[in-house]
Structure 1
Amino acid sequence: MPQILIDHSPGLDFDVLGFAKEVHQLVPEVIGARTDDCKTLVRPAAQHLVGDGATTDAVVFVEIKLLAGRSTEARSALTARVTELLRGYVRVPAEFCVEVTELDRETYVFVHHSGR
């Protein structure tokens, strides 16, 4: 179930799939979800801007969406571990944002569509 969205600056040279695979291993360790349930989308941005544009720092945003019910402590631990993991993958000056959000169990729908 965990949905992982990785947005990053254009041209950022880092092993984003290696990072995602490690996150897929980390999520079950911290919050108890199954590795096979993790799904990640990587979305390189067409452009980015930090502040007034004076810096060329890269930007990486990671959002992990979980079904509601995990404790604040577990979500915070996941945020900290993913942030630390990201530090090891991005080797250029960068600004990071890692957020763990909750999906409402009553309004969230996930469908495995087998195609036609």
Structure 2
Amino acid sequence: MPQITVDYSPAADAGFDREGFARALHTAVVEIAAARPEACKTLFRAADASAYGYDQEGAHVIVHITFGLLAGRSEETKAKLTETTLDLLRDHLKSDGFVLHASAEVRDLDPSYRKYEG
């Protein structure tokens, strides 16, 4: 915990500083949601393709960031985390002529959540 997933359009690749974003995001999660630094894990998933309305691929970039956190964070904490995340994304994803559509959400992990490290 936290489990962080970043899904993004392939057109973002050239301008997306994923390493810098993950580092800044992990720092924010530690400060805002009281996570341990070594517990922060981020998975980046570039989509094979994306579509926005009727426009062509590449004219728009879609990024959605999902946090899975253990239950117990306040709604204010969750909102601050998603707002900070979108600010950090703007700092680490430079537009190459595309329109950015970004979103973030925090979900409470189900009580059945378990992890394995080995």
* TM-score higher than 0.5: yes
Distance in 2, matches of 1:76 and 1:61, equals: 15
- In percent, how many aligned pairs have the same letter? 38
> Offset at 1:78?
0.4
> Offset at 1:77?
0.5
Equivalent in 30, 33, 37 of residue 31 of structure 1? 33
Q: What TM-score comes out, normalization by structure 2 length?
A: 0.89
Q: Which has the higher helix share?
A: 2
* Aligned twin of 2:100: 94
* Aligned twin of 2:2: 2
> Offset at 1:88?
1.1
Aligned-residue CA RMSD (Å): 1.3
Aligned residues: 112
Unaligned ranges ≥5, structure 2:
none
* Aligned twin of 1:107: 112
Give deviations 1:67-93, integer Å, cap 9, x for gaps.
111001100110111111111112212
Q: Secondary structure at the match of 2:10?
A: coil
Q: Which amino acid aligns with 2:104?
A: V
2:55 corresponds to 1:44? no
List, as ranges, runs of 4+ consecutive aligned residues in structure 1 with deviation greater than 3 Å.
none
